[in-house]
Structure 1
Amino acid sequence: MGKRGEKMQADVLAVLRRRGGPLSAYEVLGALRERHPKIAPPTIYRALAALTERGRVHRLESMNAFIACQCDRHMQASILSICDDCGTVEESVAPDLLEELSSVAGKSGFRPARHVIEIHGLCASCGAGQVPA
């Protein structure tokens, strides 16, 4: 990868970290337009793909959005808890759970390549004061 690709990845990662919440690829593009006026969507998608592959960014499949990795274990699968009210995303890692999921799937001969675990609900702030169902 060239210096331009590395620089673009750093810029994309900085945008995601500043935002602190999920952004679509086009929102990242918009945030970088002032600094890179001629930037095109494929450039953003390449940077996001490289960052995702390196574990620095997570793709939120259910939202078609991206978020910067929040933990130090970049190459472990994460559990992403997404608040449906405020949009906050919390990341956690549970290696035993992921091993168990792979084991269960493997019993039928399926070989998992990656895990994407997203849980939608309400964060502690948004759920405070609500009576459980």
Structure 2
Amino acid sequence: MMAAEVNPLTAPSSAKPHFHHHHDDPQGFIAAVEHASEERGLRLTPLRKEVLELVAAAGRPVKAYDLLDQLRDRHGSAAPPTVYRALDFLLEHGFIHKLESINAYVSCHHPAEAHQVPFLICDSCSSAQEVCDERVAQLIEAQAKAFGFRPQAQTLEVHGICKQCRKA
């Protein structure tokens, strides 16, 4: 007898959706990434850590060239490949997310675990909220499976106007 398929959106879930603004606790985030790096045997070089700190301190999505400008202000010279290599490392290990539609980066508030999350992006103030609800990823994977599609990565970005901007 085959098990019935479960609809991830209607199935009861012990995990309620969580929304994270990307400006909560930069120092706690950096400490969590340092801990995760140590546990995984990764080398968080001073430059990688500095780029990570800049992303965390931004409090909103930040573009690579804005990071480059900040590094140049601090060190006098920095080249684009340097920033992109650091961003690639941070992305590869799940410490930051790239918002493809706006070509910007935000810190990940769950750096110790691999996950796919949708983002709500405000077109007015450029804030980004990470939606931590595993049912969304499960639904996308279930739909892909139904079509015989094997996903390798998923990026879901929803654009609109945030609550604060709607009030303004």
Normalising by structure 1, we get a TM-score of 0.86
Aligned residue identity for 1:33: R
Q: Aligned partners of 1:68, 1:19: CA distance in 2, in Å?
A: 9
Structure number with greater CO (CA < 8 Å, separation at least 6) is 2
Q: Is the 8 A contact 1:56 1:74 kept in 2?
A: no
Which position in structure 1 is the counterpart of 2:27?
none
Query: Matched residues, percent identical?
Result: 34
- Greater Cα offset, 42-51 or 100-109: 100-109
Matched, 1:42 2:63: no
Q: In the alignment, does 2:136 pair up with 1:112?
A: no
CA contact (8 A) 2:90 2:96 kept: yes
SS of the aligned residue for 1:81 comes to: strand
Distance 2:80 2:100 in 1: 19
Cα drift, residue 101 of structure 1: 0.4
The 5 Å alignment of 1:87-106 reads 87-106=126-145
Matched, 1:62 2:101: yes
- Paired residues, what number? 128
After superposition, the Cα gap between the structure-2 partners of 1:55 and 1:108, relative to the gap in structure 1 and judged at 3 Å, is same
* Unpaired runs of at least 5, structure 2: 1-40
Deviations along 1:62-110, whole A, 9 cap, x unmatched? 0011111134564111111111111111112111220110111122221
Counterpart among 92, 95, 99 of residue 53 in structure 1: 92
The answer as to whether partners of 2:71 and 2:77 remain within 8 angstroms in 1 is no
Structure 1 or 2, whichever has the larger Rg, is 2
Query: Deviation string for 1:15-68 (max 9, x for gaps)?
Result: 111111111111110011133323110111111111011111110100011111
Which stretch has the larger CA shift, 21-30 or 69-78?
69-78
Q: Which residue of 2 aligns with 1:77?
A: 116
Using the size of structure 2 for normalisation, the TM-score is: 0.69
What amino acid does structure 1 have at the position aligned with 2:49? A
